[in-house]
Chains A and B, each alone.
Chain A
């Protein structure tokens, strides 16, 4: 099947600028998307979708740096602003207007906190972007793996949900798969955090009875029941926490954790 594939050359802002071009969107990859082995697959799936729908996009490549979100949530306002001001300088130099990212933390920070520091962009989370592609008929979700009737539960990311009131976009993306979408008891505005927010991702939990991701995974497993099923996430940290939870419960054979972009890429036959 090698002859039916083409190698993707991911365009950078620097190349675009050198050619006197401006992309329609900047895809902000984020640190997890660039370095975390599991989440790199999400980044690649999302780029496959971008290539597939032939949108004019670019990435910053090695010019990208942490948005400063983990520092900000950990209370290090100084480091956050250092990162933010440096990033804003880069973004403004490239005259960036529209940013899409697969990370709710990057999304929240750039959208809500960069404007105070001189960075004003239209920022879209990939769940909203994917929803638009589906609504516009650019992605048909056919030709690849079929999800019809498969049990999927969506775990709300705090920084997408409560922080920015985005509850429906990821669900509408999943609805396009024609799967059996089941809701956990704690969902949408009442969703339970995966346990990684607020810089918890980088530290051990404080003393307690249980880890938060275990509590949440138990809820997801109880909702999904037995049989092959999927926990869908839309955030790199939720992805790590839920995957670890499923592993801890020794359910990795039955329950897979996927980002919504991966599910769409699979359904569209892009990541065969």
Chain B
């Protein structure tokens, strides 16, 4: 153990990287808290159970078997290889070498599993790159929301993961070869590097440099990657866990009820009804809330958290009946738009590329100049294409509730702007006047029961 200049530099770089990450998280936290209050503290055991099954257990990923298995490699690789990262950190700070090596067989096993996982991660990421760029799986390669940045972002992540794994191998191979040259044993077992032990030559000086470069590259790569996360769809590796914890536990068919409207109606029906005093802000002024959502602050913090959790996999859009039949609606677009608008309006992470539909000239999306989520990003045409079938919600591997956001935007159109399509306004007036969505007389409601017979029992 020798703490030298390299260790001090490492310590500084690590502190800087972690500090920058914490700063970015605090900005994102601020964005999420732009949303409306919502208490989701019920049933903690059911929530934890969901986290275990859906987040840790990847349960919903397995609706699509091939990507699920490949993703599992990357996911487990990420979790397990991070144990080695702890060692890398300790070695880096204290100038030790494979500090966990004392664990003997356990350490050998861990290193062996790490190497196999690292190889699987490379294979999986290569297949993912192929699926995106060569095979062009529709949900990954197409859609109006898959603009320049989302496309680049996905490729950056996959290439970075491959490079990080290669750095890990370079580090292990040079270590192995050096030990071989010096005639002693390296702690650990390296089933993959073992095969490539001669791949980097046998000059001790070069090997030493490669080893150090591999080590530095891996650790700097991880720090850089961590700070890239908040700007990326890859942020889901963190957000999936809280987002699943706070998922909707109620039946999917139960939409939210606005109590402010209940009070209004009760007061209307009964003049003696005393509605509760409106909530007030710190200065004692009543907080007036819009009915429905026009912009990001009208959504709840959970709906905003949803959009930081989205990894743009497009499973929601791929099962959306409107999207399947060529309508503009794409649940993924709603979620991505919410994030873009939130970062435009509030804080934004280190790398921010909003990719406006208008600036990109994507004519299919008839956005306006309005500086709001509604119309500036999400158009009424999309909202009115939704059948509220919950297929998107069911499909999402990280329990995003796309439908709740669609509904809140719809509510604003209807309740604040009376901007429903004419046919729906006709339906509304039928309900008001006839108690049915069609123009039938309520007095005919019981006519179906006329001349009805059943076989008599003898």
Please determine whether A51 and B454 come into contact, CB atoms closer than 8 angstroms: yes
Contacts of B388 in A (CB 8 A): 73, 158, 197-198
Minimum CB–CB distance for B450 against chain A, Å: 9
By Cβ-Cβ distance, the 10 closest A-B pairs, closest first, are A163-B253, A209-B326, A198-B388, A65-B435, A75-B410, A193-B389, A208-B326, A112-B254, A75-B414, A108-B253
Give the contact stretch, choosing among A39-47, A92-100, A251-259: A39-47
Please determine whether A211 and B387 come into contact, CB atoms closer than 8 angstroms: no
Please determine whether A66 and B384 come into contact, CB atoms closer than 8 angstroms: no
Q: Is A170 on the interface with B (CB-CB < 8 A)?
A: no
Cα of A203 to Cα of B448 in the assembled complex, Å: 26
Number of A-B contacts (CB under 8 A): 245
Binary CB contact string for chain A from 54 to 65 against chain B (1 if under 8 A, 0 otherwise): 000001011011
Q: Which residues of A contact B (CB under 8 A)?
A: 4-8, 10, 12, 29, 31, 33-36, 40, 43-44, 47-48, 51-52, 59, 61-62, 64-66, 68, 70-79, 81-83, 85, 108, 111-113, 116-117, 158-159, 162-165, 189-193, 195-212, 214-216, 269-270, 272
Q: List 11 A-B contacts (CB under 8 A).
A: A6-B454, A47-B449, A65-B435, A65-B442, A71-B427, A79-B432, A164-B252, A197-B388, A203-B421, A215-B321, A215-B325
Minimum CB–CB distance for B426 against chain A, Å: 7
Q: Is B361 on the interface with A (CB-CB < 8 A)?
A: no
A107, closest chain B residue (CB): B253
Contacts of A76 in B (CB 8 A): 411, 414-415, 420, 428
Known A163-B390, A192-B391, A203-B424: A35·B257 in contact at CB below 8 Å: no
Minimum CB–CB distance for B411 against chain A, Å: 4
By CB atoms of chain B within 10 A, which of A43, A79, A206 has the most? A206
Contacts of B391 in A (CB 8 A): 158, 162, 190-193
Please determine whether B455 and A77 come into contact, CB atoms closer than 8 angstroms: no
Apart from the given pairs A74-B410, A163-B390, 9 other A-B contacts in the complex at a CB distance below 8 Å: A29-B445, A31-B435, A66-B437, A71-B431, A78-B261, A78-B265, A193-B321, A203-B421, A272-B455
Please determine whether A65 and B436 come into contact, CB atoms closer than 8 angstroms: yes
Contacting residue for A215 out of B324, B390, B410, B435, CB 8 A:
B324
Cα of A82 to Cα of B365 in the assembled complex, Å: 35
Please determine whether A10 and B452 come into contact, CB atoms closer than 8 angstroms: yes
Contacting residue for A77 out of B384, B394, B415, B452, CB 8 A:
B415
Contacts of B455 in A (CB 8 A): 4-6, 52, 269-270, 272
Please determine whether A206 and B453 come into contact, CB atoms closer than 8 angstroms: no
Q: Is B269 on the interface with A (CB-CB < 8 A)?
A: yes
Contacts of A111 in B (CB 8 A): 251
Known A6-B454, A73-B388: A34·B253 in contact at CB below 8 Å: no
Contacting residue for B453 out of A6, A72, A162, A201, CB 8 A:
A6
Minimum CB–CB distance for B227 against chain A, Å: 38
Please determine whether A62 and B442 come into contact, CB atoms closer than 8 angstroms: yes
Contacting residue for B387 out of A116, A200, A202, A210, CB 8 A:
A200
Contacts of B432 in A (CB 8 A): 79, 82
Cα of A8 to Cα of B454 in the assembled complex, Å: 7
